[in-house]
Amino acid sequence: MISGFVVSYNREAVIETCLRSIRFVDELVVVDKSSTDGSAAIARRYADRVVTVPWSPSVEETRTLAYGECKGDFIVFLDDDECLSPEAMTFLKAEAAAPSADLYMLPCRQHILGRHDERAYYWPEAHVRAFRRGAMEFRPTVHGGLRNLSDSICRPDPASGICYHNVSHADAHEWIAKANRYTSIRDRNLTVDPAGRESPVLLARRCIEYYAGLVPEGGDVYLEAVAVLRALYTIIDGIKDWEQEQEATGSEMFDAFCLEMRRAYDTLEAATGLRTGAEPPPATAS
């Protein structure tokens, strides 16, 4: 029996594509994180079961629950912004009948700013998207939530067409919003050495230099744009790591400052009569 699962939240534009690519399984479970758009309604058309849970900021926190909903011994899983290629669908269906490995690490074709370009920094890369029960453990750590429990790994050739597509970042706004959300989670894999918090300027220079170095000769503006976005993620990650090590947060310091200023206004009003407080209540008619 093949089980499949998808964790979803507000992906109305792409969730149907995602679910059609994994519908070949015998049992499809969608865990919806209280979507406010039409994602859950679309999921109910394709999934054998839709489980609704409260929203949380990352997919990693919910994968263990989704895995627990699956009954099969061969598991295929996708995020809600991913879809399998036709070649991958045929391949995984055949592998489930006669597995040649415990883990299947599929090439990932990233589509950033609307397209995939094999000259960009993100290609080639690969991640597990199918496994035999017991060969994988899910953890809540952002960008560190997959733990392999077996060394038996199948890695299809990227030239075979066997892959999955990630269509997560349609524009720079979406990239920056996701970077902001993920780097605010304490339990995450840092993309920068902790020493980077000692000098944000040095960190920024190194990140730009590194990812700029991955832009090939004669590269176009797209290749430069995605390289800068990737560098920006690590720069934000490093600065937030530094922030999280401080004794007081910026919000706490703002609160303390505002309290100090209100006390100064009280002193000024008492000494000079200059009104700083709230308007007095209107007089009631006698």
Q: Can you tell me the mean pLDDT for 110-136?
A: 96
User: What pLDDT does residue 189 have?
Assistant: 86
In the block, tokens 């009003």 appear at: 269
User: What pLDDT does residue 282 have?
Assistant: 65
CA quadruple 155, 159, 160, 162: dihedral, nearest 10: 60
In the block, tokens 């894999």 appear at: 189
pLDDT tens-digit readout, 27-68: 999 999 999 999 999 999 999 999 999 999 889 989 999 999
Q: Can you tell me the mean pLDDT for 101-120?
A: 97
User: What pLDDT does residue 94 have?
Assistant: 98
Whole-number average pLDDT of the chain: 93
Please say whether the beta carbons of 154 and 74 come within 8 A.
no
CA quadruple 14, 137, 105, 7: dihedral, nearest 10: 0
pLDDT band per the 50, 70, 90 thresholds, residue 195: low
Sign (positive/negative) of CA torsion 109, 112, 117, 118? Answer: negative
pLDDT tens-digit readout, 132-184: 999 999 998 888 889 999 999 999 999 999 999 999 899 999 999 999 999 99
Residue 196, pLDDT > 80, answer no
CA quadruple 101, 166, 9, 91: dihedral, nearest 10: -30
Between 171 and 284, residue with greater pLDDT: 171
Please say whether the beta carbons of 224 and 212 come within 8 A.
yes
Q: How far apart are the first and last CA of the chain?
A: 82
Q: Give the burial class of 58: count Cβ atoms within 10 A of its Cβ; 0-12 exposed, 13-18 middle, 19 or more buried.
A: buried
Q: Which two tokens stand for residue 166?
A: 């990630």
Q: Minimum mean pLDDT among 123-127, 193-197, 220-224: which range?
A: 193-197
pLDDT tens-digit readout, 68-104: 999 999 999 999 999 999 999 999 999 999 999 999 9
User: What pLDDT does residue 193 have?
Assistant: 72
* Percent over 70 (pLDDT), the chain: 96
Q: How many CB atoms lie within 10 A of CB 263?
A: 10
Residue 218, pLDDT > 70, answer yes
Residue 286, pLDDT > 80, answer no
pLDDT tens-digit readout, 170-186: 999 999 999 999 999 88
Please say whether the beta carbons of 233 and 191 come within 8 A.
yes
Q: Which two tokens stand for residue 212?
A: 């700029």
Query: 50 vs 45, 75, 82, 83, 170, CA distance in Å?
Result: 10, 17, 18, 18, 26
Q: At 125, is the secondary structure helix, strand, or coil?
A: coil
- Closest among 178, 23, 43 to 110, alpha carbons compared: 178
pLDDT band per the 50, 70, 90 thresholds, residue 284: low
CA distance 110 to 82: 9
Residue 279, pLDDT > 80, answer no
